Amino acid sequence: MRVHYRNIYTMCVIGLVEDDAGVVRRERMAGIYRLSTYFLAIISTEIPIVIVIVTMFVSISYWMANLMPAATNFIAHWLTLLVFAFACQVG
């Protein structure tokens, strides 16, 4: 079961891979792949989803909060929340 907790302010994605642990352990013992391969596959499949979620959140909330209407400020805000989301995803 894959559980995600999304916080509105930082858009954290914390994945708990409890059900996959047995499968990963069995396939690692059989020498099919390494743990780093599994980790990179999980992260690379979640990157587009995180980018879309953060972009939708920022494009709505930035203008609703009536923040500075400049492109550079908007991009800086979007990049900051994107870094937070990726940091929460890995951490």
pLDDT for the residue 42: 78
Give the predicted TM-score (pTM) of the model: 0.63
CA-atom Rg of the chain in angstroms: 17
The domain limits of the chain are 2-90
* Tokens (6 digits) for 15: 């994945």
Residues 6+ away with beta carbon under 8 Å from 12 = 5, 6, 84, 85, 88, 89
More confident position, 68 or 34? 68
pLDDT for the residue 8: 42
pLDDT digits (tens, 9 = 90+) for 13-32: 444 455 677 777 888 888 88
Residues 6+ away with beta carbon under 8 Å from 84 = 10, 11, 12
